[in-house]
Every structure is written in structure tokens, then in C-alpha cells.
Amino acid sequence: MSRTHLITGVGGQDGILLARHLLASGDRVVGTVTTTSDPRLVVHLSGVALEELDVRSTSAFATLVQRHRPDVVHNLAALSSVGASWDAPALTDEVNHEAVLGMLSVIGSAGVGFVQASSSEIFGPVASGAVDSDTPLNPVSPYAEAKARAHVAVAGARAAGARATNLVLFGHTSPLHDAKFVLPTITRQAVEVASGRREALELRDPSVTRDWGSAADFVRAFALAAAAAASGDWVIATGRVHRLADVAEWALAAAHADPSPVRGDPSPVRDDPQNSRRVDPNSRRVSGEPGVRASGEKARRNDFGGVYGDPSRAAADLGWRPRITLRETIEQMVRADLARLRTGVADSEAYLDPA
């Protein structure tokens, strides 16, 4: 039976991929955007009913729910940059936390399902190893603090009877990933190296390790969670880590870049110490929210090396498992960047072709 899904933040990477996945399944999709003037909406979201919405307006959100009567709301709207959250902590909390409280107040009375895009950042710099939905929350940035508060609120709404789920997403990427993030930066640089536009691919710290996966894989979890008989909290991750240096080498190989040393450098990958993410080691508890810890100042790198997600509960409860390797996704992104460079076309459905 066809279902109606309301996706907030449908114009972002995950929103576009989720909307396309749901449409392909025969469901109806309503999506919210801050503006309908974004040109890639026309390219990627044909068939989606678009609505402009400031998610901080609970009354406007309630009006949309009443108008479209969705079976489930997928909340993907968020300020997504950890680094930028230090410069706008109040706004980050308004969008990533307080807006969620408003949505929960609406869906609770309307009997609508709710799936929240939570973040692995809520766990903070835990000891190396696997984390799961039982891992204590220890956010160490304004972004993570807001996401942790929202995570706790969703769990609280579920305890009060709402059909409310948290999907704790580890890093994921695609050809739609915003160029300001590290993985699309790597693929773009690899293409520039291959085309002779730059000498080397530069990274802040090639040794950084993270659990990264395919965004196309991760959005399947939202569809599965929406159809699940019960709500819950599930970690969505690959269960393994990769070094940035390895990702860079994959990207260079996919772009057919010359792997030989550049001007005496031992590798075409160079260390770039700029733009490090930082956190405060002085932790404090968030008022009124047991189990959530937070921090201030920008004192150490926020790299959480060696930490990976345990997706076994998502596999057991939802039937979700990653299908696409990170290397396959990086190669797809390189193909898209090569096409962008060759044609000058920023967005095309062809860029999402996995072949």
C-alpha cells in the first residue's frame, strides 16, 4: 500500500536520495526546503511535492502535517557543519534541537510516525572501538549537543507513546555531498590533480580514521524504519574504519592521476594542517537531560579516530546492512567530478548512476 512521507530538508544529500528511493518504491513524497529556487531540486526531485518551510516554526509544520496527512515524517533538516556550529551555537540549537521538540509535539497528537536523523557526533571521543545505541552520550561541540538533546527528546516521545525513532548516522557520502566536507573535497582534488590543475591532493591529517559509508545505503534505513512494526534507536554505520590517506589513494586511482611523487614529495597526498576541528576537554552535563554530556571551548581535534558503529541491531531489527563499499562510492564521486569538470554541468541524474 502506498504511503505518504514528509521529508524535512529534502534538498540536501540525504533528502534527495531518500525521496528518490521512496518514489521508486511507489510512495508519495512531500519535501520541505528553505527555498524552491535551488536548481538541483528540478534535476533530482521530479515527482516530489515541495513546500517551503522554516523548521523552527512549529505552527507552519503543523499546517503541513494537517494539509498532507503523512504516514511518517523523516526529519533531515539540520545545520550540518560541526565546525560552523562553534560560531552559531544558539542557531544550531534552534534548528537541530528546538525545532525537533516542536515537530514531536505535532506528530504526537496527530499519530504520525517520526524518524530523526541523529548523529554519531552525540557519542563524542569515546575510546577506540565499536559504539551502539547503548553507548553513553558525550557530545563535545554545539552541533553534537543539539543533536544529543534532540536524540533524548525523540526517545522520550517514544516512551510516552509516540512512534518515534532515532537513526544514529555515522559518516556517509555521495556525489551529492556538500563540497565543504572532507570526502567530496578529496574527490574534487583528485580530479584536479589528474587534470593538471593542482600538483597534489592536500589533507589536514591523512592518518585520520573514520567509519564512512554510502549515503545511498544509509537512506534505505529510513524507509525500513518507517515500515518497522516498532520504533527504536538504531546505529547506521558500516562497522569498519578507513584512513583518509587510503580514501585519497582510491580517488587518485579512480581519476587516473599520476601516482608518482610530485616535486620530491614522497606521495601525491600532502598534509595540510589548516582548518582542524576542535573541541573542549572540559565536560559538563546538560541541564535536565540525564545521560547527555556536553562541552565548550575549541581545544583539541574532534577526530574520534578508530571509532566505528555497530550496525548489528539495525540488521536484526530492520534488516538493514550496508551494501555499497566506501571505495565504490568514492569511485562514483570521482566519475561525477570528472563529468562536472568536462561538461560544466553541476547537477545531473547521471551522476547518481552507480555503474
Domain that holds residue 127: 4-173+211-241+285-324
Q: Where are the alpha helices (DSSP H) in the chain?
A: 13-24, 39-44, 58-68, 82-85, 89-93, 99-110, 142-159, 182-194, 215-227, 244-254, 312-318, 326-343
C-alpha cell at 237: 554505520
pTM for the full predicted model = 0.90
- Cβ neighbors of 52 (< 8 A, separation 6 or more) are 32, 33, 34, 35, 36
Identify whether 299 is part of a domain. yes
Q: How many CB atoms lie within 10 A of CB 256?
A: 13
Tens-digit pLDDT profile for the chain (355 aa)? 799 999 999 999 999 999 999 999 999 999 999 999 999 999 999 999 999 999 999 999 999 999 999 999 999 999 999 999 999 999 999 999 999 999 999 998 888 999 999 999 999 988 768 999 999 999 999 999 999 999 999 999 999 999 999 999 999 999 999 999 999 999 999 999 999 999 999 998 999 999 999 999 999 999 999 999 999 999 999 999 999 999 999 999 999 987 643 333 445 666 554 444 433 333 333 333 333 434 444 433 455 667 899 999 999 999 999 999 999 999 999 999 999 999 999 999 999 998 7
The single residue listed with the C-alpha cell 544529500 is 13
Amino acid at 107: I
CATH code (residue 78): 3.40.50.720
pLDDT at 84 (0 to 100)? 93
Q: How many CB atoms lie within 10 A of CB 230?
A: 9
Identify whether 178 is part of a domain. no
- The Cα-based distances of 135 to 126, 215, 261, 304 in angstroms read 9, 23, 43, 14
In total, how many domains does the chain have?
1
Identify whether 202 is part of a domain. no
Identify whether 199 is part of a domain. no
Residue 131 bridge partners (DSSP): 309
- Cβ neighbors of 288 (< 8 A, separation 6 or more) are none
> Hey, CA dihedral for 37, 38, 44, 49, is it positive or negative?
negative
Separation CA 199–CA 193 (nearest Å): 6
Length of the chain: 355
Identify whether 354 is part of a domain. no
Separation CA 90–CA 143 (nearest Å): 10
Amino acid at 275: N
pLDDT at 1 (0 to 100)? 74
pLDDT at 270 (0 to 100)? 63
- 273-292 pLDDT, tens digit each: 444 443 333 333 333 333 34
Q: Nearest-CA neighbor of 241 among 170, 189, 177? A: 170
Cβ atoms of 117 and 76 within 8 Å: the answer is yes
Identify whether 203 is part of a domain. no
Separation CA 306–CA 304 (nearest Å): 7
Identify whether 270 is part of a domain. no
Q: How many CB atoms lie within 10 A of CB 67?
A: 12
Cβ atoms of 203 and 188 within 8 Å: the answer is no
pLDDT at 276 (0 to 100)? 42
Separation CA 21–CA 222 (nearest Å): 10
The single residue listed with the C-alpha cell 569498519 is 240
Identify whether 195 is part of a domain. no
